[in-house]
Amino acid sequence: MISPDSDRNRLFRHDGRIAINTIRAAFAGWNDRLVAVAVLIITLAMIKSWLAERPWTIAAWSAVGAGLLLGTSAERLVAKRLAFHGFDGLLAVDALRPATRRRYIAAWHGIALALLATVLLVVAPSLLIVGCASYLAGTLLAALMSGVTVPKRLADRVGSARVIRAWLRHGQAGALVASTLLVVLLLERSLTPNTLIAILGIETTLLTLALTSVDSDVVRFMATTGYGPWRIVGYHGKSMAYFLALAVPGCWLIAGSVAAAVVTAVSGAVLLLLVLRVLAYCLHGKRFADLIVSIFAGLLLFLAYFLPIALPFLAVAILWQLQHRARTKTWLLA
Amino acid sequence: MSPAIHLAGAAVERSGQRVVQDVDLRVARGSWFGLIGANGSGKTSLLRALAGRLPFAAGSCLVDGQDLASDRAGRALRFGFCPPAHTLPDSVRVRDVLELVGGSYDDVRPRLGRLSLALALAPLLDRWIGDCSAGMRQRVAIACAFAGGHPRVILDEPFNWLDPVAIFDVREVLRSMVDDGLTLITALHDLGTLAAACDAGLVLANGEVALALDEHALHTAAQDPQAFERQTIDLLRS
């Protein structure tokens, strides 16, 4: 019988091989690789430029936020993988033994920390210590949070949350949410114009995000049962259509054209995010698709800030490329 | 002689619900133990707990006389386990998966023995898991359970997805491996296999033991499989 002690790193090698092969498959063509390198270089240049224009304290707080976010996300991802290995994986022994667990956790965080340090050295070496320390604090925070048990009543609500998410995809949900926004807007009319617009923007963002949840399994299922990518987008975006049809003219009537423009712009951005996610889920597994969408969304945000005129061209290029590839996945089970 | 595996009052919980309770079973060394039950009766949960993939909520679990009820890693170390075929990673090759579980393929091959032929593994070795059909994945998953060379193996519904020839060949080889000393526990949906190939078994209903089948009962069942099937179906319906 083989002993796991003979190869203490096999759990890490297992996931490392999966990660490398997945990245190779995703960037199999030279086009994909060139686009990825270009996106990486442009993103790093934009971050560097953005940080250089800010006072050190603002830049440091940004590094703290990014480090915490990355640290907590990485820790949660590693914990999730270990839970999978312990339950369904090939190497359950390694995932259940404290010594091999520690090696696995240390190896992945070591890689993540090295990548973060490299990025910080390129974009802002003065933030190296702050960023890395925040990453470690984030991992610690996530590890502590994972020890907090969820009360059963709260766990039961997760089931009802699934029902609510499914209902939010219906047209009537969009109409109801738009009506709620308009009623709230009526109550907020006494606010100063600037405050009103800011609050309206935040409200619209939160409400439209709630209306555009995407379940990767549903997307994959629809693709394998013959739904083309745009039909899947239509299924997920139905409530947004109702929302826009009611909210935009309603806001125009209540608070004027600027309010209507804000609702349109925010809804457009959220719809774009929805389309990106649907197309990416047609092509890749959830985790990798989310990574790709985050990169594209970040790139579009930076472009919107620095070079807004180029934004629609890049958005259309990304959408065209994704939908072109997603179309080939219709009916495909693999 | 003490049994290879002895569960007493075993209970398993999933998402806070007790899905297996008060299960007593004994599996003799070098025997094939079959577990039968309706969908959702607790077979998979019980097997996963035995293989360390789930904790036991209550009871004792003796493996070769050592109580491992509270030692998930200890149980996972002692059992070869067939992972659900759909959870095998798409982006690695079959050979890589077997080598990760059992070391070099030169070490894995003798552990698989005739099973390698019955599973028609050789043509699959350089294939990506993502390019395998459901039946091919199932073959690989079964091979994974044996790649580590464990003397005790747990297979959850191993004949799902396999073609009739493969079912016949694999069943024959498993039987011969058991005759050579392997202790095998399988969840099954096929009463014929339970009657013809297993040495003992258990019928689970709603997470509890509905019927324990010893060697004599299965010998009788093998002589009149239709009567056995009718009785067992009546029991599962009730």
Question: Cβ of B87 under 8 Å from any chain A Cβ?
Answer: yes
CA distance B78 to chain A (A): 9
Cβ neighbours of B96 (radius 10 Å) = 21
**Contact (CB, 8 A) for B149 and B103:** no
* Whole-number pLDDT of residue B169: 95
- Taking an 8 Å cut-off on Cβ atoms, the answer to whether B91 and A155 are in contact is no
- Based on the fold, state whether residues B91 and B162 are members of the same structural domain: no
CA distances from B58 to A95, B20, B68, B165, B207 (A): 23, 10, 12, 41, 13
Q: Which domain holds residue B100?
A: 85-149
Classified as helix, coil or strand, B34 is: strand
Question: Cβ of B14 under 8 Å from any chain A Cβ?
Answer: no
- Chains A, B: CB pairs < 8 Å: 69
In the structure, what pLDDT confidence band is assigned to residue B144 with cuts at 50, 70 and 90? very high
Stretch (H or E) spanning B25: strand B17-27
Residue among A84, A96, A221 with most chain B CBs within 10 A, to mutate: A96
Query: Which residues does chain A have within 8 Å of residue B81's beta carbon, measured at their own beta carbons?
Result: 92
pLDDT digits (tens, 9 = 90+) for B73-102: 999 999 999 999 999 998 899 999 999 999
- Taking an 8 Å cut-off on Cβ atoms, the answer to whether B92 and A89 are in contact is no
- Taking an 8 Å cut-off on Cβ atoms, the answer to whether A93 and B52 are in contact is yes
Question: Cβ of B192 under 8 Å from any chain A Cβ?
Answer: no
- DSSP string covering A52-101: HTS-HHHHHHHHHHHHHHHHHHHHHHHHHHHHHHHHT-S-HHHHHSHHHH
- Based on the fold, state whether residues B185 and B141 are members of the same structural domain: no
- Based on the fold, state whether residues B170 and B94 are members of the same structural domain: no
Query: Which residues, in sequence order, are bridge partners of residue B203?
Result: B36, B211
Spatial CA neighbour of B128 closest among A243, A251, A24? A24
Show which of B130, B149, B168 is a domain's final residue: B149
Q: What is the 3-state composition of chain A as percent helix, strand, coil, each rounded to the nearest 5?
A: 85, 0, 15
* Whole-number pLDDT of residue B183: 97
Stretch (H or E) spanning B20: strand B17-27
Give how many domains chain B has, as a whole number.
Answer: 2
Spatial CA neighbour of B140 closest among B170, B185, B110, B165? B170
Question: Cβ of B207 under 8 Å from any chain A Cβ?
Answer: no
Show which of B107, B125, B149 is a domain's final residue: B149
- Based on the fold, state whether residues B178 and B198 are members of the same structural domain: yes
CA distances from A198 to A76, A258, A269, A271 (A): 33, 11, 16, 20
Q: Which two tokens stand for residue A167?
A: 């209902």
Query: Which residues does chain A have within 8 Å of residue B145's beta carbon, measured at their own beta carbons?
Result: none
Average pLDDT over residues B39-54: 94
Question: Cβ of B98 under 8 Å from any chain A Cβ?
Answer: no
- Based on the fold, state whether residues B99 and B215 are members of the same structural domain: no
Residue of chain A nearest B130, judged by CA positions: A334
* Whole-number pLDDT of residue A37: 87
- Based on the fold, state whether residues B156 and B75 are members of the same structural domain: yes
β-bridge pairing B5-14 and B17-27: antiparallel
Q: Report how far residue B111's alpha carbon sits from residue B113's, in angstroms, rounded to the nearest whole number.
A: 5
CA distance A155 to chain B (A): 9
Query: Which residues does chain A have within 8 Å of residue B103's beta carbon, measured at their own beta carbons?
Result: 2, 6-7
Note the ipTM here.
0.90
Nearest to A25 among B16, B91, B150 (CB): B91
**Contact (CB, 8 A) for B142 and B158:** yes
Q: Report how far residue A140's alpha carbon sits from residue B60's, in angstroms, rounded to the nearest whole number.
A: 35
Q: Report how far residue A84's alpha carbon sits from residue A70's, in angstroms, rounded to the nearest whole number.
A: 21
CATH number at residue B187: 3.40.50.300
**Contact (CB, 8 A) for B36 and B202:** yes
For helices A193-211 and A229-255, give the axis angle rounded to 10 degrees: 160
- Report CA B65 to chain centroid distance, whole Å: 20
Average pLDDT over residues B54-74: 95
Query: Which residues does chain A have within 8 Å of residue B150's beta carbon, measured at their own beta carbons?
Result: 1
Instruction: Give residue for tokens 């239709």.
Output: B226
CA distance A6 to chain B (A): 9
Question: Cβ of B48 under 8 Å from any chain A Cβ?
Answer: yes
Query: Which residues does chain B have within 8 Å of residue A17's beta carbon, measured at their own beta carbons?
Result: 91-92, 96
- Taking an 8 Å cut-off on Cβ atoms, the answer to whether A18 and B150 are in contact is no
* Whole-number pLDDT of residue A249: 94
**Contact (CB, 8 A) for A281 and A289:** yes
Q: What is the largest CA-CA distance in chain B?
A: 50
Stretch (H or E) spanning B13: strand B5-14
Show which of B103, B125, B149 is a domain's final residue: B149
- Taking an 8 Å cut-off on Cβ atoms, the answer to whether A334 and B52 are in contact is no
* Whole-number pLDDT of residue B1: 63
β-bridge pairing B56-63 and B5-14: antiparallel
- Based on the fold, state whether residues B139 and B180 are members of the same structural domain: no
Instruction: Give residue for tokens 């997760």.
Output: A158
Classified as helix, coil or strand, B109 is: helix
- Predicted structure pTM score: 0.77
Nearest to B53 among A4, A87, A152 (CB): A87
- Taking an 8 Å cut-off on Cβ atoms, the answer to whether B92 and A18 are in contact is yes
- DSSP string covering B52-91: TSS-EEEEEEEETTEE-TT-HHHHHHH-EE---GGGS-TT
In the structure, what pLDDT confidence band is assigned to residue B232 with cuts at 50, 70 and 90? confident
- Based on the fold, state whether residues B60 and B129 are members of the same structural domain: no
Q: Report how far residue B216's alpha carbon sits from residue B142's, in angstroms, rounded to the nearest whole number.
A: 29
pLDDT above 60: residue B68: yes
Q: Report how far residue B174's alpha carbon sits from residue A257's, in angstroms, rounded to the nearest whole number.
A: 75
Question: Cβ of B104 under 8 Å from any chain A Cβ?
Answer: no
CA distances from B49 to A87, A215, A260, B72, B162 (A): 10, 30, 57, 8, 25
Per-residue model confidence as pLDDT tens for chain A (334 residues): 656 566 778 899 999 998 898 888 878 888 878 888 888 888 888 888 888 888 888 889 889 989 998 999 899 999 999 999 999 999 999 999 999 999 999 999 999 999 999 999 999 999 999 999 999 999 999 988 876 555 555 445 555 677 788 888 888 899 999 999 999 999 888 888 888 888 899 999 999 999 998 988 889 889 888 889 999 999 999 999 999 999 999 999 998 999 999 999 999 999 999 999 999 999 888 878 888 888 888 888 878 877 888 888 888 998 998 988 888 888 875 5
- Based on the fold, state whether residues B69 and B129 are members of the same structural domain: no
- Based on the fold, state whether residues B102 and B125 are members of the same structural domain: yes
- Based on the fold, state whether residues B43 and B67 are members of the same structural domain: yes
Q: Among positive and negative, which fits the CA dihedral A236, A239, A243, A245?
A: positive
- Taking an 8 Å cut-off on Cβ atoms, the answer to whether B100 and A13 are in contact is yes
- Taking an 8 Å cut-off on Cβ atoms, the answer to whether B100 and A89 are in contact is no
Classified as helix, coil or strand, B210 is: strand
- Based on the fold, state whether residues B135 and B199 are members of the same structural domain: no
β-bridge pairing B66-67 and B5-14: unpaired
Question: Cβ of B100 under 8 Å from any chain A Cβ?
Answer: yes
- Mean pLDDT of the residues in chain B: 93
* Whole-number pLDDT of residue A75: 93
